[in-house]
Amino acid sequence: MGIRAIKSISWESAKESLNSKFAYLVFFFIMILIYVAILTGIMAVNDEKKVLSDFFIAVTQISLLVFGVFSSALGVSQDIETKRIYLILSRPVKIYEYVFGRIIGVWLSAFFVLFFINLACFLVFVFKGYFFDLNYFYLTSNLYFKILCISSISMFFACITTSSFTAIGISVMVWFISHFITDIKFAFDKMKGSVHFMKYIIYLFPDFSASPSLYSNFKILIYSFVVVLFSSYFFKKTEI
């Protein structure tokens, strides 16, 4: 694997994602939500710390989901639309190096967004005079693994459809389904007939409903890697 090519593409992808108008819009959205979180916390009075913590986790989830899905889908589609993909692949760069570089760039930029939100949360807690709960970092780090996965899925559908809107729409659907995997499996187990076999299709989805743990995060990471491999394979077969 061409580490140098992947590293170069990933850094360019990360800088492009963070310098895009969409990224600025996401950061502006985050600042508004942080302000709303502070106001909500003030109104909570006796339970302000818990309200702030829960609100920041919600802000983190929404912001990273939107940023990860859009950045991975739009990056590939824009490279195809602007014909920049031909310039990249005309160099000694293989398709799998391009795909891995692209998605790693999204992962890096998503980590920066996560760091920014966590820093804002930390400063708010310090300003309010609250002890910062390390469990918050634990929850957001588990969330980050889900973002790695869903952004990889978004990249996959962008590679096979070359349509950013299709990739974004399917990825958001997968995100919601994956959070109810356990319930969906239980429902299919109770059904009879041909519908019962639908439960095996559910195994194609990542399991975001499992309790956060190192094992579940490792499974999600492996799933993400496999999805990127498939993205490389199908992108090679796609006419661009």
pLDDT of residue 175: 94
Match 């095996």 to its residue by tokens.
200
Domain span holding position 153: 3-178+210-237
Q: What is the rounded CA–CA span in Å between residue 120 and residue 166?
A: 33
Quote the distance between the C-alpha of residue 226 and its chain's center: 15
pLDDT of residue 1: 52
Q: How many domains does the chain have?
A: 1
pLDDT of residue 193: 61
- pTM (2 d.p.): 0.88
Secondary structure string (H, E, C) spanning 121-136: HHHHHHHHCCCCCHHH
Q: What is the rounded CA–CA span in Å between residue 207 and residue 210?
A: 6
Q: What is the rounded CA–CA span in Å between residue 95 and residue 237?
A: 10
pLDDT of residue 190: 72
* Domain membership flag for residue 189: no
* Domain membership flag for residue 89: yes
* Domain membership flag for residue 191: no
Low-confidence ranges of the chain (pLDDT < 70): 1, 41-42, 44-45, 192-199, 239-240
* Domain membership flag for residue 199: no
